[in-house]
Structure 1
Amino acid sequence: MLRLLGHALKKALAIMAVSAAVAGLPILADAVSTAQAATAIKEGTIDLGPVRLFYLDTGGTGETVILMHPATASSDAFRTYQIEPFAKAGYRVVAYDRRNYGKSYYDAASPPPGTTVDDLEAVTRHLGIDRFHIVGTGAGAFVAVDFALSFQDRLRSMSLANSVIDIKDDDYQAMMTRTRPEGFYNMPVEFRELSPSFRAGNPEGLKAWLDNYAASRVTPRGPDQPEKNVRTLKGMEAIKVPTLFISGETDNYAPPPVYQKILEHMPNAELVTIPESGHASYWERPDDYNKAVLGFLAKHH
């Protein structure tokens, strides 16, 4: 009986893999074996003296994808929609809480904190990661670009979603000001971050997003980390890593024209625009987000 059940399970998994291939989803060599059970996620901490960084790691022998969370969430937010499908596509998936977020401990009285790039480098050393794909959402994309400007030989690809990337050029900053008029930051966080369609049509998803937001807050906060590099449009031209930009069509922070400005300096980069999505495409339109990122990764492994 058990043998028959095992045979049926293997057959079902094979059908699932073929169906995914027909649908255009990238399936790496070990995807079927990964799919034999729900993805196991290891939790751990990395001790950096005055800070302990909490991380998630699916393990495995596939290429590594590091997911960088936005300023409104922690790594736990990726459990809902990203970690499982990315792991089942054959990737080792890693995510961690940056200082001042989620389950990472950060002594508010600690000495100068170094940069977010230094912390990312420490995470990769601790986990034995050499080259990897980086996927940054919101403020997580700030770290991804900063890392690319310092260590782009370590990156297989870079996907940047819903992020202004904090480029310092005056004309770029003026464009940012036009998208966020006076009083913008006095509005509720869900109004600033999420599209009207999502807020109106998905009350359960809205509540879960707000719960993730609340859980990611840390008090007291330690000192903010400085940038390793100053990001400019001219400086973006130095990045030769295959790059994907994802924009939400109704993103209050970074609508499509923001990325079109950057593409003038990175003509080989790609842009995907997700309809009816605000500043959190990974949460508001996860199927579209995952399809865009996984499709891009499949071209650059």
Structure 2
Amino acid sequence: MSAHATPEMWTPVPLPEQVLARESMAPISGTSLWFWDTGGEGPAVVLLHPGTGSGASWGYQQPVLAKAGYRVIGYSRRGHFQSAEGDPDNPGVASVDLNELVDLLGIDEFHVLGLAAGGTVATDYALSHPDRLLSLTLASTIMGVTDKSYIDLLTNLVRPSFFTSLPKDFQELGPSYRAGNPAGAAAWLKLEEEAISGKQLTQKNANAITWAAVETIRTPTLLLTGSADLYTPPSMLRLQASHLRHARVEIIEEAGHAPNWEQPDRFNAILLDFLKRH
């Protein structure tokens, strides 16, 4: 490199070509959900999107997992991209919707990956149906824990009141990524804008998710976050790990709240290594 050369701020990862997948609508209680399914004979991996995303958020994961031999399923929760909203006064239980979907697809056991708000659904499902999970990956999520001390920590210190007024890409994408890959940040923002067409629904949990409940989870668990995640910084991940002492803990440097999008190569390598072990 010459003395006057400018070092590359970021090396963008091109979005890979997607593996052919069946797309359809799944009729479940009270609504219907859009999903895609790569099929195949391998173990199933179900991907649970963040609150700002949808079943279309997994472009970097779908082909990588499928080519590694997994049957990969992604879907949009109620009111998200291409899924029906159903009755807004009766939004249902997200983990129950998940259970109905895997039943319809004939899946008995599966790996589940929950990112951000999807991690709350995954945690709730692990409490209700531990016998159906091969593994549990919780990425950049607050898990839905309701203990007052935890809620106070989140609302007073981690995400004070002004936080929700910030632009979504500022909240969720790390500063290194926004500065180094503006095109990637714009593509993420487009997916976010398309994810919810109307009012976002707040679905219930089947369980009271407390630290005491979390400590009963025995499913092999991966806890993962980005070092620049404003929602779940590494200190929060370590707090979660203190209640899931068997869990594997991984922190992806320079990634924000969307590590699967910002650092897909590193994210996928960690995920595949974990899945292969379980």
Shared fold (TM-score greater than 0.5)? Answer: yes
Per-residue deviation at 1:169?
Answer: 1.4
Q: What is residue 270 of structure 1 aligned with on the other side?
A: 248
Q: What is residue 182 of structure 1 aligned with on the other side?
A: 161
Q: Which has the higher helix share?
A: 1
Larger radius of gyration: 1
d(CA) in 2 for partners of 1:289 and 1:169? 29
For the residue of structure 1 that corresponds to 2:154, the secondary structure is helix
d(CA) in 1 for partners of 2:28 and 2:214? 30
Runs of 4+, deviation exceeding 6 Å: none
CA change 1:264–1:220 in 2 (3 A) is closer
Letter in 1 for 2:227: E
d(CA) in 1 for partners of 2:267 and 2:18? 21
2:117 aligned with 1:133, yes or no?
Answer: no
Partner residue of 1:153 out of 131, 139, 161 = 131
Length, aligned pairs only: 261
Per-residue deviation at 1:38?
Answer: 6.4
Letter in 2 for 1:57: D
| 1:45-79 deviation line (CA, Å, top 9, x unaligned) | 1112541100010000000000100011111111x
Letter in 1 for 2:258: A
d(CA) in 2 for partners of 1:292 and 1:174? 31
Q: What is residue 57 of structure 1 aligned with on the other side?
A: 37
Which residues of 2 match residues 186-205 of structure 1 at below 5 A? 186-205=165-184
2:169 aligned with 1:218, yes or no?
Answer: no
For the residue of structure 1 that corresponds to 2:243, the secondary structure is coil
d(CA) in 1 for partners of 2:245 and 2:86? 42
Letter in 2 for 1:217: I
d(CA) in 2 for partners of 1:190 and 1:220? 19
Q: What is residue 220 of structure 2 aligned with on the other side?
A: 242
d(CA) in 2 for partners of 1:128 and 1:46? 12
In structure 1, list runs of 5 or more residues that go unmatched.
Answer: 1-36
Per-residue deviation at 1:174?
Answer: 2.4
d(CA) in 1 for partners of 2:118 and 2:144? 11
Letter in 2 for 1:93: V
Per-residue deviation at 1:259?
Answer: 1.7
d(CA) in 2 for partners of 1:48 and 1:133? 21
Q: What is residue 209 of structure 1 aligned with on the other side?
A: 188
For the residue of structure 2 that corresponds to 1:176, the secondary structure is helix
2:264 aligned with 1:286, yes or no?
Answer: yes
d(CA) in 2 for partners of 1:168 and 1:266? 16
CA RMSD of aligned residues (A): 1.5
Partner residue of 1:86 out of 44, 48, 65 = 65
For the residue of structure 2 that corresponds to 1:75, the secondary structure is coil
Per-residue deviation at 1:220?
Answer: 4.8
d(CA) in 2 for partners of 1:247 and 1:108? 34
